[in-house]
Amino acid sequence: MSKLILFQGDSITDCGRGRDGDVYLGCGYPRLVQSSLGFDCPGEYEFINRGISGNRIVDVYARIKADIINLKPDYLSLYIGVNDVWHELGSKNGVATPKFEKIYSMLLEEVMEACPETKIFLIAPFAIKGGGTYNAEDTSYYEAFIKDLNEKIGAVKRVGEKFGLPVIELQPAFDNALKLAPDSYWTADGVHPTAMGHELIKRLWLETFEKIK
């Protein structure tokens, strides 16, 4: 019996995944994981991506039954947080960090209660300079973005520690990647990864998966 890996998150996870059934995982790190792990371990895993573009922690929380618990995944990969920052700056519709941390904890508690066998790991959000985060004429936007984002990263790490779950930290990995090639090589806009950026996430994902599987 193959084991089910569920990817949950926002647009970085969604990446144009199919909406009619769970066949096509989109063009992001979930499909890269599926390609690589699926090739190396034929038939051992099934992969479902239920990420939705624009989602904040409260949106994932709203979908907890249909898109997490009812699927009874063997593994849950949760990557959320950048829209909780971005939507505040863009349209005053974000989620402040204390609430982010609270809802994130509630979500995990409920999943762990309903699916005690599910192995969960968390991916903390990242951002680098790019068209969606940085404006040379008004650097205060970028500063506010990074400040709030760092708070979100801290919250995900605290939540991971609280529940004893591994947390993949993308920010240092992308900061390091910037030493090798410019921002546009790794993301389209400071937030959405290119093919190479998704590969970076995939490789960290697989490293973490090897440890907990």
- Report DSSP letters for 109-152, one per residue: HHHHHH-TT-EEEEEE----SSTTT--TT-HHHHHHHHHHHHHH
CB of 42 to a second copy, least distance (A): 4
> Integer distance in angstroms from the first to the last C-alpha of the chain?
15
Segment contacting a second copy by CB under 8 A, of 94-102, 122-130, 162-170, 190-198: 190-198
**25 forms part of the interface with a second copy (CB under 8 A):** yes
Question: How many other CB atoms are found less than 10 A from the CB of residue 193?
Answer: 23
Min dist CB 139 to a second copy, Å, is 26
Mask for 31-70, x = binds a second copy (CB under 8 A): xx-xxx-xx--xx---------------------------
Whichever of 24 and 141 has its CB closer to a second copy, that residue is 24
Contacts of 108 (CB under 8 A, 6+ apart): 120, 159, 163, 165
Q: How many residues bind a second copy (CB under 8 A)?
A: 25
Distant-in-sequence, close-in-space partners of 181: CB < 8 Å, separation ≥ 6: 196
**Nearer residue to a second copy within complex by CB, 102 or 213:** 213
Enter the tokens of residue 110.
Answer: 């409920």
Task: Pick one of 3, 22, 27, 53: the residue that binds a second copy (CB under 8 A).
Answer: 27
Using left for φ > 0, alpha for ψ between -120 and 50, and beta otherwise, residue 27 falls in alpha
Residue 98 or 182 having the CB closest to a second copy = 182
In the bound state with a second copy, the residue whose beta carbon lies nearer, of 81 and 193, is: 193
**Which residues of this chain interact with a second copy, rule CB under 8 A?**
24-27, 31-32, 34-36, 38-39, 42-43, 177, 180-181, 185, 194-196, 198-200, 202-203
